[in-house]
Amino acid sequence: MSYLPHTAAQRREMLSACGVRNIDELFVDIPASLQPLSFNLPEGRSELEVVDYFKQLASKNYAHLTSFIGGGFYDHFIPAAVDAIAGRSEFYTAYTPYQPELSQGTLQAIYEYQSQICRLTGMQAANASIYDGGTALYEACQMALRTTGRERIVVDGGVNPVYRKMLYSYTANLNISFSEVQVTHGQSDREHIFKELDENTAAVVLQNPNFFGVIDDHADIVNYCHAKGILVIQSVYPVAMALLKSPGEIGVDIAVGEGQCLGIPLSFGGPYLGFMATSKKLVRRMPGRIAGRTTDSAGREAFVLTLQAREQHIRREKASSNICTNEALCALRAHAYLSLLGKDGLCKVARLCYAKAQYARRRFDSIPGVEVMKSSPTFNEFTVRLPLDAGDVAGRLIERGIAPGLPLGRFYPGMENYLLVAVTEKRTKYEIGLFAEALEFILRETGA
C-alpha cells in the first residue's frame, strides 16, 4: 500500500487538510535553493521490498578493511554481552536520573562505572562521564583555571593533535593563553617544559602513552609542577593502564581520556566516551554529574546524584560546565565491558596488544627501506619511517584491504614519510604478515 497521494483528488484532499492551496504554498518557508527539484516519486513498496532495496544499496559500500588505525580510537574486541546489557530498554530509554526513586538501576551502574574509572586511574573520584576524550581534556583545563585563578596552560606536543585542536577551538574566545612544547625522541621534553612554566601557569597537559605510542613516566614533571603550585593533567589510554603506572601513582591532579576502547564500537566518529577522575580535594571543582552511594530513611542502600545541585547544569554562563546530555549509555557499555573482563582479563588484553605490537615492530623492521622508531618504549602503537609519502602508501594499502595507520604528515609538518601503526588484540599474526608483505611489495614496485 502506498502512503503517498498519487491522484489529483488525493493531493487536493491533502492540501485542503493542511490549509494551503498548492504544493508551493506547503513549502513556502523553505528557501528555493533547499527545496527538492521534483516530487515525481516512485510507486510505494512494501516493507520487505524497501528493506531488500536498501540492503542492495548498502552492499555496494561495503569494504572490509583490516584496521591498524589508532591515534586514540582502537579496534578492540567487544563481548556480545555488552550489546545485550546496553540494549535493555530500562537503560537505553532512560534520561538523566534526577529522580533517584525511579532511577536506582541507572544510578548504581553510574556509581560502579565511576568506581572502575577510579581503580583504573588510581584517582579518588570520577564523574559520570563526558562527551569524549577531547572534551574531557578541555573540561580538565577549565577545572585547573578555576582552581588556580591563573590563565595559562602548557601543553605537551605529544598530546593527541585532535584533542589539542578541540581545546583551542573551545577556548578561542576566552582569555586563556597556551604554550606548546614539542617532544624530543618521542618523549616529553622536560627542559623546555620547565622553561615554559611561570607564576601564571595553571596546568601542564601531558599524555601517556602519547600520540606516537610512546610510554613516559611523568613523575618528575608532576613533582616539579607541584612545587610551583601548578596542576598536572594527564590524558591516558585506559587499556594501557592495566600495565603502566596510573596517574594516581605519580601524583597527577586530573586524569582524563577516551573510553571508546572500553566496549564502544568504531562508528564513523561516535558516540564516544570521555572519562574524568581527580583527587578528593578537587572533587567539587569537577564538572558533570557524580553518583554517590548512601542509605534511605529505612537504612537501605541507595544511589543518588551527589555533591552538585541540578541547577549547576542549567545556569547558562554561571554553570561550571555545560554537560547536560545523558552520556550514561556509553558509560554503561564501559562498565559492562570492564565487569565482563575483570582485572585479569583487562591485563590479558593489554599484554596481547603489547606482544602483538612488538611482533609487528620486528616484522616491519625487517623490510628494506622501513625504519621503526626505537628511541623510546611503546605500548601498542609505534611510528615507522617510510622512503615514500606515508599518505600515498596508505592509499595503496587501502586498495588491498588494509587500513595501515595514520600518516603523521597531516598532523605534524615535516613528518610526511611517517606512519603511526596501532595493533590490538584482534590483529592476528597472519594479518600482520599480510600488512608487512603488502608494504614490502609496494615499496619494491615503486622502486623506493
- Asked if residue 330 lies in contact with residue 273, where contact means CB atoms within 8 angstroms, the answer is yes
**Looking up cell 594516581, which residue turns up?**
248
Instruction: Work out the pLDDT band at 2, boundaries 50, 70, 90.
Output: very low
Comma-separated ranges of CATH 3.90.1150.10 domains in the chain: 66-74+343-445
- Regarding pTM above 0.75, the answer is yes
Q: Mapping DSSP to helix (H, G, I), strand (E, B) and coil, where does residue 118 land?
A: helix
Q: Which amino acid is at 315?
A: R
% pLDDT > 70, the chain: 94
Which whole number is the average pLDDT over 124-134?
A: 93
Residue 312 has pLDDT above 60, yes or no: no
DSSP state of 251: T
DSSP letters, 4-37, are S--SHHHHHHHHHHHT-SSHHHHTTTS-GGGS-S
Average pLDDT, whole number, for the chain? 92
Q: Quick one: three-class SS letters along 339-364?
A: HHHHHHHHHHHHHHHHHHHHHHHHHH
- The gap from C-alpha 305 to its chain's centroid, in whole angstroms, comes to 25
Domain with CATH 3.40.640.10 in the chain: 80-337
For the domain made up of 80-337, give the CATH fold. Aspartate Aminotransferase; domain 2 (3.40.640)
Confidence of residue 409 (pLDDT cuts 50, 70, 90): very high
| Residue 3: predicted pLDDT | 47
Dihedral Cα 136, 139, 144, 149, nearest 10 deg = 170
Report in angstroms the alpha-carbon separations of 223 from 194, 195, 202, 226, 228: 11, 15, 15, 5, 9
Q: Does position 324 have pLDDT exceeding 60, yes or no?
A: no
- Rounded Cα distance between 353 and 151, Å, is 39
- What would the pLDDT profile of 213-255 be if each residue is shown by its tens digit? 999 999 999 999 999 999 999 999 999 999 999 999 999 999 9
**Phi, psi at 295, each rounded to 5°:** -130, 150
Per residue in 340-386, pLDDT tens?
999 999 999 999 999 999 999 999 999 999 999 998 999 999 999 99
236's enclosing H/E stretch is: strand 231-236
Residue 314: what pLDDT?
A: 62
Residue 50: the pLDDT is 93
- The CATH H-level superfamily of 66-74+343-445 is Aspartate Aminotransferase, domain 1 (3.90.1150.10)
Place of cell 622553561: 195
**pLDDT tens digits for 159-205?**
999 999 999 999 999 999 999 999 998 999 999 999 999 999 999 99
End-to-end Cα, the chain, rounded Å? 62
What is the pLDDT at residue 323?
Answer: 63
Confidence of residue 14 (pLDDT cuts 50, 70, 90): confident
pLDDT score, position 5: 58
Say yes or no to pLDDT of 326 above 80.
no
Lowest average pLDDT, out of 32-41, 75-84, 396-405, goes to 32-41
Residue 429 binned pLDDT confidence (cut-offs 50, 70, 90): very high
pLDDT score for 379 = 97
